[in-house]
Amino acid sequence: MYIKDLFGNQKPVLSVEVFPPKPESPLDSVISTIEAVKDLNPDFISVTYGAGGSSRAYTVEIADMVKNKYGIETLAHLTCVGTGKDEVDDILAQLQSKNIENILALRGDRPQEGVAAKFDYTYAKDLISHIKAKGTFCIGAACYPEGHIECDSLDLDLRHLQQKVNSGADFLITQLFFDNELFYSFKERLNALGIHAPVSAGIMPVINKKQIERITNLCGASISPRLKKIMETYENEPEALKEAGIAYATEQIIDLLSSGVDGVHLYAMNRPEVAQKIFAAIKDVRGSCEHEHQLQ
């Protein structure tokens, strides 16, 4: 099923991301994650690449497992930097052969300096146009409530986003954020520009201070003062920080759901217990939102 139709048929759409292990590692950990997450009834599970595309060989295999073994809709990540058109077409053919209909089209990480890479595509919009021409897939794209770290301004980044949508992106998933007001302001800007593609809000629970600091430094997302205080208070108490981080993310999600968000995409970092606690905490809220949408 096309994910764009999920957004059309219900609200909110709740999804979870999993990522492959390193190429030399077995799939046991991600299989365990999927096994645990499937019982939460996510609307779809996205399957990312490893860092820098290091585990792309696993992406199709895991997406195939999610869709055809577990019967859950899946979203396969596909990056284009350093990937030639022939390789992209080969991956698309593999996905199509597995009846995988949804792709998150991304530029991807730039290769390290001195590393040879093929550049048939410059931006995500170029990859989106290529996939759209196939007429086979539903296409998701990334968006950035605070602007892309490499972009000079949020206004310029929004123009780039408009190009992605105009090129064929059917829905959007945001980069992680920790202040919902940033998301609401971002949505207002999208509406003002006439960008009406459904948007899933990307939420990452904080369970490790150093990990989140590293991720936010890489992607440019800001840490809210309230979350920063929580991280500083509990940084030497792992279990307390995990509990507080899950509670903070849960509060974010409940606020988003009560505000009529199109969807929530949970970056659970292959920690199924985190997803389980959050889905349990929002169970009644989720059910209420779905019921209200059906009545509309």
- Contact assessment for residue 21 and residue 62, using Cβ atoms and an 8 Å cutoff: no
CA atoms in the 13 A half-sphere facing the CB of 222: 11
Q: Which of 17, 73, 101, 146 is catalytic?
A: 17
- Residue 207 in 3-state DSSP? coil
Strand partners, 45: 16, 74
**Closest of 30, 26, 55, 56 to residue 45, by C-alpha:** 30
- The pair of structure tokens assigned to 229 is 């205080």
Active site residue 113: no
| Element containing residue 201 per DSSP (H, E) | strand 199-203
Cα–Cα distances in Å, from 103 out to 18, 48, 53, 77?
14, 10, 15, 6
| Residue 132, amino acid | K
Rg, Å, the chain Cα set? 18
Pairing label, strands 102-106, 44-47 = unpaired
- The pair of structure tokens assigned to 123 is 């931006």
| Element containing residue 128 per DSSP (H, E) | helix 124-134
- Residue 177 in 3-state DSSP? coil
Tokens 């593999």 identify what position? 94
Please identify every residue annotated as catalytic: 17
